[in-house]
Amino acid sequence: MQRLYDFLRRHPTGVDTFWAVVLFGFSLLWVASKPTGAEGAPAVYAVVAALLSLVVALRRRMPEKMLVLTVLLGLAQLAFGLVPFMADFAMLVIIYTVAAHDGPRWASRLALAGGLSAATLSQLRWPLEDGAESSAAKIFFTVIMTVPFALAWVLGDSLRTRRAYFAQLEERASRLEKEREAQAKVAVAAERARIARELHDVVAHNVSVMVVQADGAAYVMDSSPETAKQALETISSTGRQALAEMRRLLGILRTGEHQEAGEYVPQPDVQQIEDLVEQVRGAGLAVDFKVEGTPRPLPSGVELTAYRIVQEALTNSRKHGGPDVGASVRLVYFDDGLGLLVEDDGRGAPQEMYEDGGADGRGHGLIGMRERVGMVGGTLDAGPRPGGGFRISALLPLKPAH
């Protein structure tokens, strides 16, 4: 049964043609037994029946044209006195079809006007027989004959409205699905950028520490084995820390990584800046560290941003500051923000590094800082300081920690 139903849905014109043949057959039976006194020759009725059957057959392929043909046939019946007969059922069918079709509104209005006036025009052209010609009887008969036409239009228009409603729902669902896909792509891109920044910070800082310590150990290996041993221990601990942070970052990219990655470290925060400074001091960079104001809980994003800025700034000081460079780190808690100031007295980074936004051809340290600060709604200023060296200052807004 379902196959038959699907077949009929795939061939609507064939179904309409079948009912058109049925209507034409019943119309011919009426013509063959035409009531006495009906005007017009049987052949004329047969032609009208054939055309109205054609209307039923093609109602879905060309509804507006079939409606115009039906109107012309109805006017011809009135003009030539062809009494209503079986084939006029096609008028109900085309009124319903045009009202249900999502076509021009003039066609639906014409169908409604024709349906509402058909019974009245028919009553004026062929009044009731003698004995039933009272005004009340005529009005009642006209209303009764108008109801089917009105119902046909109302049913068709309701179907059209329902189809439009479901089409709107489908379009909205499709649009929401596309928006979700777009948002997912944006989220993936943002997460990739964040992971890239994190990896840059981890690799740039820890590897530079390891290189400095390795060079120092090679230099004093023969003259001071104890110092070389301490340098190797620093390299070992720094390498473990770098591996732990890289496992944490790469674990974001894999499902179930928490069961396989092994050792993890907490996400860096402001409290770990002091440990970072001690690590840098151990690598040979003299750093003066101060905290001003009253420490308070910060949003995790602000905490991570502050840590990474200090880490990147000290890494740049070690890379670009030259020999005997010294640095200072200041954390200042304001009422509405956290201030960061990192300075060094070295020779500073190349001019193009800060003029081009932080891209020195070998890395994107300052670019990453600006992106991080922008994500939390803060401001960043980086450039040479008076008297030599480099300075990085940032202001991060404080929000209540959730």
φ, ψ (nearest 5 deg) of residue 239: -65, -40
pLDDT in the model for residue 205: 66
Q: Taking 90 as the threshold, does the pLDDT of residue 142 lie above it?
A: no
Q: Taking 80 as the threshold, does the pLDDT of residue 157 lie above it?
A: yes
Q: Residue 351 in contact with residue 277, Cβ under 8 Å?
A: no
Listed range (180-184, 265-269, 278-282, 387-391) with the worst mean pLDDT: 265-269
Q: Taking 70 as the threshold, does the pLDDT of residue 230 lie above it?
A: yes
> Which of the four pLDDT bands, split at 50, 70 and 90, describes residue 13?
confident
pLDDT in the model for residue 10: 84
> Which of the four pLDDT bands, split at 50, 70 and 90, describes residue 53?
very high
Across residues 288-316, what is the average pLDDT? 86
Q: Residue 16 in contact with residue 60, Cβ under 8 Å?
A: yes
Beta partners for 332?
A: 292, 339
- This prediction's pTM: 0.49
Three-class SS of 336-378: CEEEEEEEECCCCCCHHHHHCCCCCCCCCHHHHHHHHHHHCCC
pLDDT in the model for residue 255: 46
88 Cβ neighbours under 8 A, 6+ residues apart: 52, 74, 77
Listed range (155-164, 272-281, 303-312, 315-324) with the worst mean pLDDT: 315-324
pLDDT in the model for residue 56: 93
> Which of the four pLDDT bands, split at 50, 70 and 90, describes residue 362?
very low
pLDDT in the model for residue 363: 46
Provide DSSP, 62-101: SHHHHHHHHHHHHHHHHHHT----GGGHHHHHHHHHHHHS
Q: Which single residue is written with the structure tokens 């910060």? A: 298
φ, ψ (nearest 5 deg) of residue 394: -140, 145
Q: Which residue has the higher pLDDT, 193 or 56?
A: 56
> Which of the four pLDDT bands, split at 50, 70 and 90, describes residue 387?
confident
Number of continuous H segments (helices) and E segments (strands) in the chain: 12, 5
> Which of the four pLDDT bands, split at 50, 70 and 90, describes residue 262?
very low
Provide DSSP, 125-193: HSPPPTT---HHHHHHHHHHHHHHHHHHHHHHHHHHHHHHHHHHHHHHHHHHHHHHHHHHHHHHHHHHH
pLDDT in the model for residue 264: 45
232 Cβ neighbours under 8 A, 6+ residues apart: 213, 217
Instruction: For the chain, give the mean pLDDT.
Output: 81
